Structure 1
């Protein structure tokens, strides 16, 4: 199992500005890591959907 980091960014005039990131440890696959990070990000910011605070979710795997 790999560790993942998901960076959330708001896009302004085509330029992404990072508004937060979430570390996910021991996810079975990238899609599960991304979904877990989206849920955690939404909870941290007190919103129902992560897209209320960010436009992009960029996934990176880490060893």
Structure 2
């Protein structure tokens, strides 16, 4: 299990502005980390779907596992 940081950003005129980050301490793979982070981000912001507050969810390059 690996540790991940997922960045959530809102794009304005094609430029991404980070609106939040979520740390996932244990996930089997990057896809599961992004799904878990999306759920946590939505709960933190009191919305049904994370896309109401952000346009993009991506792994932070520094925390992505090396293959």
> Normalising TM by the smaller chain, what interval?
over 0.9
The aligned residue for residue 53 of structure 2 is 53
Q: Distance in 2 between matches of 1:11 and 1:26?
A: 28
Q: Structure 1: which 5+ runs fail to align?
A: none
The structure with more strand, counted as a fraction of residues = 1
SS of aligned partner of 2:47: coil
Q: Structure 2: which 5+ runs fail to align?
A: none
Aligned length: 63
Q: Where does structure 1 differ by over 6 angstroms across 4 or more consecutive aligned residues? A: none
The aligned residue for residue 35 of structure 1 is 35
Structural mapping, 1:3-18, within 5 Å: 3-18=3-18
